Structure 1
């Protein structure tokens, strides 16, 4: 698992390109991918050591602000491995589920905010991150599975 994950979210493609360019030039980070969630919202994701990711995200946020398209920025220093696997690396997650499992759903505006919330939720309770979805108009949601009490704790932590 990388030392940190960094996100810069923009409302517009020009800001996304400006942010991505600045982030890669600022520090030794790996560009993981870009996530477009509709409504002109898009997020660039980088990984690397914590200091490099922080510097990269600061540079990307400033570039997006200069373009007039900055929406949000975030650094997660030690992302939950399951959250990274499902949300960032697009791998199938969650494992086997019991028929009696409850589900929890958290929806919010922005991909970066959703990733941070899912990370907090999976750290707060014994749940499996089942999936996430980009809903359009800038909204994203994630789904957790587990027993009822764990799902409630996870959802409360992810809000």
Structure 2
């Protein structure tokens, strides 16, 4: 079973909130990380099956772009089946907080 990771970075918190909400509603994915990145930008990461992450990312990008104001998506990526070393180093692993929501 190939588990992917999808990440969306936006300029504003409302946009990343809208993206996260749309992502978990549109597909069977687990939100594993939210944080601030450089220059106050916000990012959200989801994990799930590759097809589910692709569907979630489409919904998340549409929701973030639909936010009023300067809700600009700065970048996004889907990585299918990331290597074990990447999961150990970067903040994309399932955490105790995300485990109850793992789908």
TM over 0.5: yes
- TM-score after normalising by structure 1: 0.53
Unpaired segments ≥5 residues, structure 1? 91-159
Q: Which residue of 2 aligns with 1:51?
A: 51
- TM-score after normalising by structure 2: 0.80
Q: Which has the larger radius of gyration?
A: 1
* Count of equivalent residues: 91
Q: Which residue of 1 aligns with 2:10?
A: 10
Unpaired segments ≥5 residues, structure 2? 95-103
Larger strand percent: 1
> Deviations along 1:21-78, whole A, 9 cap, x unmatched?
0001000001101021142211100000000000001111111111232111110001
Q: Which residue of 1 aligns with 2:77?
A: 74
Matched, 1:27 2:30: no
Distance 1:2 1:84, change over 3 A: farther
Equivalents in 1 of 2:40, 2:72: separation in Å?
10
> Which 4+ stretches in 1 moved above 6 angstroms?
none
Q: Is the 8 A contact 1:30 1:47 kept in 2?
A: yes
Distance 1:49 1:74, change over 3 A: same
